[in-house]
Amino acid sequence: MKLVHNSFTFAIEFEENIVNLIVVENKSYLRQLVKELCDAEKGSATRYVLSEGLTELSVKDNMILLRDVFDVEVNDKKTLNKLYKRLEEVSNGYYCDNWNDVRSELCAYLYKLTDTEMLPLEFDVDIKLGDILKAVGMKFYFNDKTVLDSVMTYIDVCAEFSIAKIVVGVCWSAVFSIEEIEFIKRHCFDKKIHLLLFDDEKINIDKVKIYIIDHDLCEIF
């Protein structure tokens, strides 16, 4: 895969077991680039283009930007939809008869409730398991103790549910030690997740390809 921006003369090539680090010394320009990537991740058209070969890929479907490592949200809509889909597949494959019994009992119960009202009521009898899971608040539960634990957990979820192929971190040099970033890096490698970092200074880790944009917005390789 490759990520380009129309103001860059370089292309970010995602290779196995290599971290891509974009060092942007101009903080205002760093914010601009990260904000634009946030917009792309939400599905908006930006100057970023992600591709594989000759095929353009959706940034939204392939990349996750960890905006706030102090409040990592594992249970976002995208992730929960993946979870509900998997549980529905398990139910259809192994517990189909049980689910049919539950749905019949639930419909019967709802009919009893409607009979208690003087005014006419109706409901959708084609009850979906995903709707039930959402209604009862089915979600992931992780008792992470540290910020580092939360990031590692999120990478696990991304890999397990194919949420994203690329995880993006911003200014991790201000939050994590070199040893901690190395630990996250190795975890991404183990999970076959690409790691893209934006920062305002170099991070001295192994197996990293560095692109530098200086204060005057000149590119240095």
Domain range summary for the chain, segments of one domain joined by +: 2-74+145-220, 78-135
Q: Which has more pLDDT, 194 or 141?
A: 194
* Torsion sign, CA atoms 79, 74, 191, 60: positive
Q: How does pLDDT run across 115-148, given as a tens digit for each residue?
A: 999 999 999 999 999 999 999 999 999 888 899 9
CATH class of 2-74+145-220: alpha beta
Sheet with strand 2-5: strands edge to edge: 12-13, 2-5, 48-52, 55-57
pLDDT at 67: 86
Supply angle C-alpha 70, 74, 88, rounded to 5. Answer: 175
Q: How does pLDDT run across 44-55, given as a tens digit for each residue?
A: 999 999 999 999
Q: What is the DSSP letter of 173?
A: G
Q: How far apart are CA 56 and CA 37, in angstroms?
A: 16
Q: Could you tell me the pTM of the whole model?
A: 0.87
Q: Which residues contact 80 (CB under 8 A, 6 or more apart)?
A: 134, 138, 139
The answer on pLDDT for 221 being more than 80 is: no
